[in-house]
Chains A and B, each alone.
Chain A
């Protein structure tokens, strides 16, 4: 039970830091912590084999988004 509240609190803390941080490059690691915490919360809330698939899908999707944001921020694809 403590695990769930701890992980949810970390998600909120990371979300607040994402909002406060001004620099895009330094925002992304905070968003990464939030994604970890949300994926963990999902499995802790729903104890079912399929919640693992949901957590993995959420996590991979959000990592791909962070990857896309970071690469666009870096200047996108050079042609």
Chain B
């Protein structure tokens, strides 16, 4: 029981690093993809957060990004192995097009996550650890403190620049 809990925490850390890296490489904190993303960023900044981090959080809200890609890829690997993960990547891409977004971050994240999750299932992890891990990872960014999360993302974005 403790072992499963530790696996979930490790999976959360891996998913966090994966999706934040892909999102920052694809310049999500740079500009709001739609006007709604900028509105979310403005409100987070008004609450004491950082604008670049808020913009990335707004973009995550408004279109499936690498975090959604990682979650659905983990779900795909759980139900059908690597083909399931790649099917999830295709659905993320369709979701991106529906949400008026080019979709490179989400699709890249899903394809990368498929292979990462599959590799970890070969060394004792379960795909379910990554489903729970990704939900914990998104909770730390979007669900605990917008002020602190946006400042952290803005700091990582400055390093990228």
Contacts and interface: CB of A to CB of B under 8 A. Distances in A.
Interface in B60-88: 60-64, 67-68, 71-72, 75-76, 78-80, 84, 87-88
| B contacts with A: majority SS | helix
A52 B87 contact: yes
B71 A28 contact: no
Interface residues of B, number: 55
Given A23-B47, A40-B75, A73-B39, A59 B61 contact: no
Contacts of A55: 72, 75
| A contacts with B: majority SS | helix
Interface of B: 1, 4-5, 8, 34-40, 42-44, 47, 57-58, 60-64, 67-68, 71-72, 75-76, 78-80, 84, 87-88, 91-92, 94-95, 98-100, 126, 128-129, 131-132, 134-136, 138-139, 141-143, 146
